[in-house]
Structure formats: structure tokens, C-alpha cells
Amino acid sequence: MNITVVGTGYVGLVTGACLADTGNHVFCLDVDAAKIAKLNAGGLPIFEPGLDAVVARNRAAGRLVFSTDVEAGVAHGVLQFIAVGTPPGEDGSADLSHVLAAARSIGRNMGDYRVVVNKSTVPVGTADEVRAALGEELANRNLRIGYSVVSNPEFLKEGAAIEDFMRPDRIVIGSDDEHASALLRQLYAPFQRNHERILHMSVRSAELTKYAANAMLATRISFMNDLAMLAERLGADIEEVRRGIGSDPRIGFHFLYPGAGFGGSCFPKDVKALQRTAESSGRPLRVLAAVEQVNEAQKHVLGEKVRARFGEDLQGRRFAVWGLAFKPNTDDMREAASRTLIEDLLAAGAAVRAFDPVAGEEARRLYAGEKRVEIVNSAQAALAGAEALVIVTEWLEFRSPDFAAIKRELGTAAIFDGRNLYDPATLKEMGFEYFPIGRRT
């Protein structure tokens, strides 16, 4: 099939590459000429494990092209995927300007039937707005052309997006048009060979499903973080509690790990957007308000632990920070807990020397004007001259480090662990002061 994907960000690029990998001819369209030039030169605008190989082989096979040519992109595919950003507005609601601009571009250029597929994460009712925008553009051209608007939300995890797309848990299709549904079922047939994965539902239900999924996962994280803080007060160990409740099959172990708070481009934005949708409908989601409050507080916990140990005035002290991305296997630092930690340390007068295996370039861009923040190229280099070590992201290479080398470098043998990577008893035997999240030390 001929497919057009509007937007070459995280969702659009993964979607386009993976659909091309199953034999489709995919036209990836973007108005950002610099991004398209980078893609055509063999580069990627994002880091995602395995994506470079998928893009390269499908470009070489002629199944994947990148262009700024809107007219050609609209002419290419009957299925037009909109996968542009929906950043939060000032009130936390999703900004649909890019989505509606993409829809209008399709309406201004389409010459026959098109199915517009909302892949972006959008509030309930967005399909109606897209449908209206398409209708207005066609009316301006005095054309009567059939079209459909469907919702097909993505459920990709950063760091595992290729696997998630190629072996999906479910494929949600929100549509009230049988022909459009049949086209999407044909498109996703290669992912259905093992068992039925398509969940067909109304457009509005599909739009809400995406937000509900992310909100549920965020709720589990905030619940465990809140519980971890209580465990510290009560002298309990949150790791033992996690195993105790996770062994209940009704609960399970997924997303039960306490830490430094969730971040990234999805959970914080989607929690806010769903709250705004609920408030505008007159039915606020009080649980989600608590989820957001707990998460914002949790991002300050590491800084609070550092100040509790070394005092409120940290001038003259430097701290090593391991991990800057909001999670492993990505370079995404949006809403990352590391940014809150660094802000807290700087506010107390400290300096920071930090390392991340992938997000170093992004961190250098973010802190280009801050003389007290140095981004280095190795975990060992981050330790030089540091008072203590703070771990924010659970990269694999941090899980079994050379503790003797760490101890030699630090002014104080202290580790503040925002991801509970180590065994408290073992670190105590090694002579470390250990400050995890919710664990008995």
C-alpha cells in the first residue's frame, strides 16, 4: 500500500519506517526542511535503538522517502497518517494547531478519497475538528470529495518502539466508516498473523483509550512513589512491599518501581491534557490531580536527600550525576527528573558534573549557558572532584559499577540512588552511605 505519514518526529518516523519494513511504500512528509535534509543524508533526528537500521534498509529498497513536498505527499497515499506534535498549552491542554494545520494541508491538496488517520495523541473530539477542517478546505475549493477521519493511537515505549510496533499488544482503530476500517485492517494484516490484535471501537473511545492508558501507568508510578515515602517514615522497605503486592496477579509487577518521578514527552503531557479535558467537561479527575502533585514532589526528593545530608548551603561542592534522560535507551530529557535535580543543586549553590550514555548532546544544548554544569563523556569522569554521586536514570552500565573506583574518587563515600539499583546491605559493607528511595538502610 502507499502510505503518507505527516510528521517525522518520534511517532511519525517509527511508524513510517516500520510500515515500510512490511513492504508498504511510505512517504514521510515534514515542513521542517532541516530535519528532512538530515534524514536524506542518512541521519536521524532522534535516538531509538534499532531505528537507524530500519530506516537505512527501507530507504535503500526505495520503500521510504522523506520530503517537504506537501502536494506530492497528499497525492501519494490513500491513508494519510497525522503524527505531529501536540505540545501542552499554557493551561495544560493539548495544542492541536499542528494537527489541524496538517489536516488543512491535506484538504487543500487532495484530489480524491482519503482516509486521515490521527496517530498523534489528541483529546476526545479531535477527529470532529479534523473532519471540519477538511470539509472547510474542500468547500473553499468547491469540491465534493469523500473522506474519512479515524483514530489509531500509538502505544510505543521510547527505547523499545520498534519491538512495540512490530509486535503490538493491541491495535486500536476508532472508526465509524467500514471502508476506512477495512483499509486499516489490510494495512495491519502483517501484525495479525499470530492472533487477533485489532480492537475496533468508536472514534471517541479510541481517543480516550490512549489518554486512559498513559494515565493509568502514571498512576501506578505515583502510587508507588508515594508509598515509598511512607515506607521510609515507617521503617519498611518498599522493595519488599513491591514484591509482596506485585505477586498478586490482579496487580502484577509492571510499573511498580519507585524512583525519582516520571518524565518524558508522554506521561506528564497526557496527564495534564486529560485533566483539562475532564475539567472542561465538568467532571474533574481528582485521582489524576493527585498523580501529578505526587510526581512533581517526587522529582525534588533526591535534591532534598542531598541537602539533608550536606546542608542547605552547597556552595563549593560538586556532585556527580549519572543519568540525564528521563529513562534508559533514549536521549529524551523532556520533563526528566535529572533536570529538577540539577535545578535544585544549582539553587543550593552546588556545581554538577554529569554523564549520560546517550543524552549528553541534548544536555550540552540545554545547559550551554550554565557554567556550573559540566557534561562529560564517561561515568568515571563525572566522579572526578565530586562530593557524592547521584543516580537518576537506570542505564544498564550503572547497575554493576566499580565501587572501589567510585569510593576513591568521591569526597564523601555517599550514593544517592533515585532508581534503587543497589543492595543497601552490600553498600554498607563497602563503607558507603547509601540513600535510595523508600528502602530500609
Set 11, 156, 231, 266: catalytic member = 266
Separation of alpha carbons 8 and 30, rounded Å: 6
**Alpha helix locations (H) across 178-320?**
178-187, 203-234, 238-246, 267-280, 286-298, 301-310
Separation of alpha carbons 325 and 95, rounded Å: 24
Give the residue among 413, 417, 416 at the shortest CA–CA distance from 429. Answer: 413
18 is catalytic: no
The strands making up 318-322's β-sheet, listed across from edge to edge, are 373-375, 351-355, 318-322, 388-391, 414-417, 433-435
Angle at 111 between CA 108 and CA 115, to 5 degrees: 85
Residue 285 is classified by DSSP as -
Cell 468547491, located at residue: 142
Separation of alpha carbons 387 and 129, rounded Å: 55
| Number of helices (H), then strands (E), in the chain | 18, 14
Query: What amino acid positions are annotated as catalytic residues?
Result: 266
